[in-house]
Amino acid sequence: MFIDRAKIYVKGGDGGNGVVAFRREKYVPRGGPSGGDGGKGADVVLVVDSSLSTLIDFKYKVHYKGKRGEHGQGSNRFGRSAEDLVIKVPPGTVVKDAESGEILADLVEDGDRFVAAKGGRGGRGNARFVSSVHRAPDFAEKGEPGEERWIILELKLIADVGLIGFPNAGKSTLLSRMTAARPKIADYPFTTLSPNLGVVETGHGSSFVLADIPGLIEGAHEGQGLGHEFLRHIERTRLLVHVLDMSGLERDPLEAFFAINDELVKYSDKLLDKPQIVAANKMDLPEARENYPRVKETLESAGYDVIPVSGATGEGMKELKNRISEALSKIPKTIAIEQVKQYGIEEEEPFKIEKRGDIYYISGKRVERMVAMTDLDNDSAVKRLQLSFKRMGIDDALKEQGINPGDTVVIGDFEFYYVE
Ligand SMILES: Nc1nc2c(ncn2[C@@H]2O[C@H](COP(=O)(O)OP(=O)(O)OP(=O)(O)O)[C@@H](O)[C@H]2O)c(=O)[nH]1
Ligand SMILES: [Mg+2]
C-alpha cells in the first residue's frame, strides 16, 4: 500500500525536575544547598532514511512522545538528558503544521533532520538559587514541559524521471521492462493508483530513478481521476517520458499528447518547462506502425525526441534508456524545495488577561511555562512566582481590570485565589 499523507502527534519530553537538597558535612548541621538540575527532555526529530519510500508506518502509529529528562539529585548531581526520539521519514517528506497549514520543513536528502517538537529544559536545582538574600533556598524548579503539536507529513516523490500518459498507454509495462520493479499491469484504465519507483541501471555504475505515475485524463488539473494527487508527484522529477499508445485504438496518439500537455500547463506552467522525451509505445501492433510516420514528423518538428518502443517485445528499450541518460546528464540535479516559513524572533505578547464571568484567565507562553515549572506546594517557590508576576506587570494589569482579593485567576491548567 502506498500512503503519501499522514497526520501525527508529536510531543517533546518534559524536562526533569530540579531538586532541593543540602550538603551533609561532619559538624555542620545544615550545609549549603546542593540540589542538582533536571535533565533535558527528548526532542522529537524527523530524519530522512532513503530506504523508505512511503509514509505507511504512520498509518499504524500516530502518537510520538519523547522521554522526560531525569530529575536532579543531591550533591549537585544533574539529571541525565533524555535521548532524542528519532522518527524516520522517506526522502521528499514535506512537514506542515496541522493547525495553520504552514510548511515547517521539506526533508529531501538522506540524513536531513527537523526537530518537530522540542523537549523541555531541565528545572534548576536549589543550588542555583543562592543569592546574597537567599543563602539556603528551599525550592527548586520543575522541568519545562515539552512542546506538543499535530503535524501533517506529505510525500512529494523525488525521482529523476516520471512516466506520464493516458491510462493504458503502457507506463507500468515500460517500468517493469527497464527496472526490477513489478507494478501491476492490466488492460483497463487506472490499473496504477499510486506511483511506483524503480532504479534503472545504465552501466558504468550509474543509475537513475524512474517513477511510474498513474494515468492522467482530461480535467486532471481540476482533480479529475485523482489528478491532483498524481500531478503533485511530477513536480519533483527532472525529466518526463511521455508514453503514447501509438495504436490509436483508444484515442489518436497526437490528440492524446497535446491533451496531457494541456493538463500539465493548467496545473502549473513549471511542469511544461520540464524536458520531455516521447516513447512511442506498442510499436509491435500494425496500427501503431501505420501511425508512426505522421506522429514522428509532427512531434519532431515541434522539437521533441521520439523513440519507437514496445513494452510487449522489449524493442527500443536500450535506445530509450540511452536517450534518457543523455538528457539527464544535461539537466542539473536540483530539486524544487518547498518554501519553508522562516521564524523570526517574533515579539510575542508577554501575557493576555481575559475576564469571563468572575474569573480572570491569564494566557501567554512565558507565563504558562513559569507556572508549569513552579512547585506550587512550596511556599518559597510560590513567592518567587508572585514576585516575577509583579515584575512583569501582571499584578497592575489585574488591578486595572478591577480584581478583588479572593477572586479566581486561571493560568494554563492551574487555578489560584488572588491575594494582594
Ligand atoms: N501490444 C502491446 N500491448 C502493450 C504494450 N505495452 C503495454 N501493453 C498493454 O497495454 C495494457 C496497459 O498497460 P499498462 O502498462 O498497465 O498501462 P499503464 O499506462 O500503466 O496504465 P494505467 O496504470 O491504467 O495508467 C496492458 O494490457 C498491457 O499488456 C505494447 O508495447 N504492446
Ligand atoms: Mg500503470
Q: What is the dihedral of CA 354, 356, 359, 364, to 10 degrees?
A: -30
- CA 188 to ligand 1 centroid distance, Å: 9
CA of 147 to the centre of ligand 1 (A): 50
Out of 164, 166, 178, 185, mutate this one to test ligand 1's pocket (max ligand atoms within 8 Å of CB): namely: 185
Question: Is the CB of 225 within 6 Å of ligand 1?
Answer: no
54 vs 6: which has the higher pLDDT: 6
- In this prediction, residue 413 has a pLDDT band, given cuts at 50, 70 and 90, of confident
**172-329 CATH fold:** Rossmann fold (3.40.50)
User: What local confidence, expressed as pLDDT, does residue 186 receive?
Assistant: 87
> Tens digit of pLDDT for each residue in 270-303?
888 899 999 999 999 999 999 999 999 999 999 9
The finding on whether 170 has its CB within 6 A of some atom of ligand 1 is yes
- Report DSSP letters for 292-354, one per residue: HHHHHHHHHHTT-EEEE--TTT-TTHHHHHHHHHHHHHTS-----PPPPPP-------S-EEE
CATH 3.40.605.10 fits 1-158, yes or no: no
* CA–CA gap between residue 194 and residue 229 (Å, rounded): 9
CA angle 19, 42, 376 (to 5 degrees): 35
Distance CA 307, CA 321 (A): 10
Question: What is the per-residue pLDDT across 198-214, written as a single tens digit (0 to 9) for each?
Answer: 889 887 777 888 999 88
Whether the CB-CB separation of 103 and 156 falls below 8 Å is answered with no
pTM of the entire structure? 0.74
Measure 187 CA to ligand 1 centroid, in angstroms. 6
The atom of ligand 1 lying closest to the CA of 214 is: 25
Average pLDDT, the chain: 89
Looking from the CA of residue 167, the nearest atom of ligand 1 is 25
What's 249's DSSP letter?
Answer: S
For 223-235, what is the mean pLDDT? 75
User: If you take atom 9 of ligand 1, which residue's CA is the nearest one?
Assistant: 170
What lies within 8 Å, CB to CB, of 216 at 6+ separation is: 164, 165, 166, 225, 227, 230, 231, 260, 263
Q: Which ligand is nearest to the Cα of residue 165, counting in written order?
A: 1
**Contact yes or no for 350/392 (Cβ under 8 A):** yes
Domain topology for 352-417: GMP Synthetase; Chain A, domain 3 (3.30.300)
pLDDT reported for residue 304: 96
Indicate if ligand 1 lies below 6 Å from the C-beta of 308. Answer: no
Task: Indicate whether residue 371 lines ligand 1 (CB < 6 A).
Answer: no
Q: Is the CB of 196 under 6 A from ligand 1?
A: no
Question: Are the CB atoms for 4 and 155 separated by under 8 Å?
Answer: yes
Q: What is the pLDDT of residue 346?
A: 52
Q: Mind listing the pLDDT tens digit for each residue in 71-117?
A: 999 989 999 999 999 999 998 899 999 999 999 999 988 899 999 99
Mean pLDDT of the region 161-183: 93
Other beta carbons less than 10 A from residue 194's beta carbon: 18
User: What is the average pLDDT across 220-238?
Assistant: 77
Model pLDDT, residue 140: 95
Q: Is 247 in the pocket of ligand 1 (CB under 6 A)?
A: no
Contacts of 315 (CB under 8 A, 6+ apart): 283, 284, 308, 309
Please tell me the distance between residue 233's alpha carbon and the centre of ligand 1 in angstroms.
21
Give the pLDDT band of residue 234 (cuts 50, 70, 90): confident
Ligand 2 centroid – CA 165 distance (Å): 10
pLDDT for the residue 3: 66
Instruction: Confirm if 277 and 241 have CB atoms less than 8 A apart.
Output: yes
Cβ burial, residue 19 (10 Å; 0-12/13-18/19+) = buried
The answer to whether residue 257 scores a pLDDT higher than 90 is yes
Tens of pLDDT, residue by residue over 122-171, are: 999 999 998 887 788 999 999 999 999 999 999 887 789 999 999 999 99
Is residue 34 in contact with ligand 1, taking CB distance under 6 Å?
no
DSSP tag of 357: T
For 156-195, give the DSSP string: ----SEEEE-STTSSHHHHHHHHSS------SSTT---S-
Using DSSP's 3-state secondary structure scheme, residue 55 falls into coil
Which of 160, 93, 156 has the alpha carbon at shortest distance from 334? 160
**Average of per-residue pLDDT across 175-192:** 88
Decide which of 193 and 336 is more confident: 193
Mean pLDDT over 59-81 rounds to 94
Percent of all residues in the chain with a pLDDT value above 90, rounded to a whole number: 56
Residue extents of the structural domains in the chain: 1-158, 172-329, 352-417
Whether residue 251 is predicted with pLDDT greater than 90 in this model: the reply is yes
pLDDT at 49: 92
Pocket test residue of 191, 196, 229 for ligand 1, highest count of atoms within 8 A of CB: 191
Residue entry with cell 485523482: 226
Q: Is the CB of 312 under 6 A from ligand 1?
A: yes
CB of residue 150 inside a 6 A radius of ligand 1: no
9 pLDDT exceeds 80?
yes
